[in-house]
Amino acid sequence: MVRRVQILVAALVLIVAALSTGAPFLFLLVYLGMIVVGGSYIVTRFGLSDLEAGYVLDRLHAQTGDTLRANYTVRNTSRLPKPWLVVHNPTTLPVGLPGQAIAIGPRGERSWSVHVTLTRRGHYRVDPLALRTGDPLGLFESTAAVGSYSTVIVYPRVEALPGWRLPPAFVEGSHAERVRTPHTTPSATSIRPYVPGDAYNRIHWKTSARQGELLVKEFELEQTADVWIFLDLYGAVHAGTGDESTLEYGVRLAASIAARALAENRKVALTASGDHIAAVPADRGPRQYLKIMQTLAAVMADGVRPLHVVLVENVARLRRGMTAVIITPSLDAHWVRPLAGLRTRGVETAIVVLDAPAFAAFSPPDDQAASLDDEARSAQAEDPQAARALRHALAEHDLSWHSMVPGKAIGTQLVSRGPRPVLVHSR
Quick check: 379 pLDDT over 80? no
Kindly state the percentage of the chain with pLDDT values over 70. 84
Angle at 420 (CA atoms; ends 416, 425), nearest 5 degrees: 105
Per-residue pLDDT at 220: 56
Considering only residues 6 and 354, tell me which one the structure prediction assigns the higher pLDDT: 354
SS3 call for 210: helix
CATH 2.60.40.10, the chain: domain bounds:
52-155
Name the CATH topology of 226-413.
Answer: Rossmann fold (3.40.50)
Residue 168 pLDDT class (50, 70, 90 cuts): low
Lowest mean pLDDT among 77-86, 95-104, 215-224: 215-224
- Report yes or no: 88 and 132 within 8 Å, Cβ to Cβ: yes
Question: How many Cα atoms occupy the beta-carbon half-sphere of 95 within 13 Å?
Answer: 16
- Mean pLDDT confidence for 304-312: 90
CATH 3.40.50, the chain: domain bounds:
226-413
Lowest mean pLDDT among 146-150, 192-196, 378-382: 378-382
Considering only residues 135 and 272, tell me which one the structure prediction assigns the higher pLDDT: 272
Instruction: Of 304, 309, 276, give the one whose Cα is nearest residue 372.
Output: 304
The predicted-structure confidence for 220-276, as pLDDT tens digits, reads as follows: 544 456 899 999 999 889 988 888 899 999 999 999 999 999 998 888 999 998 778
- Mean pLDDT confidence for 348-352: 91
Quick check: 422 pLDDT over 80? no
Residue 10 pLDDT class (50, 70, 90 cuts): confident
Per-residue pLDDT at 4: 65
Per-residue pLDDT at 369: 43
Q: Answer left, alpha or beta for residue 415, where phi above 0 means left and psi between -120 and 50 means alpha.
A: beta
- Report yes or no: 72 and 113 within 8 Å, Cβ to Cβ: yes
Arithmetic mean of pLDDT over the chain: 82
Per-residue pLDDT at 347: 87
Q: Tell whether domain 52-155 is in CATH 3.40.50.300.
A: no
- Report yes or no: 288 and 219 within 8 Å, Cβ to Cβ: no
- Mean pLDDT confidence for 276-289: 88
Per-residue pLDDT at 370: 43
The predicted-structure confidence for 35-52, as pLDDT tens digits, reads as follows: 777 777 787 778 888 899
Say how far apart CA 312 and CA 307 lie, in whole Å.
Answer: 9
Considering only residues 308 and 183, tell me which one the structure prediction assigns the higher pLDDT: 308
Residue 156 pLDDT class (50, 70, 90 cuts): very high
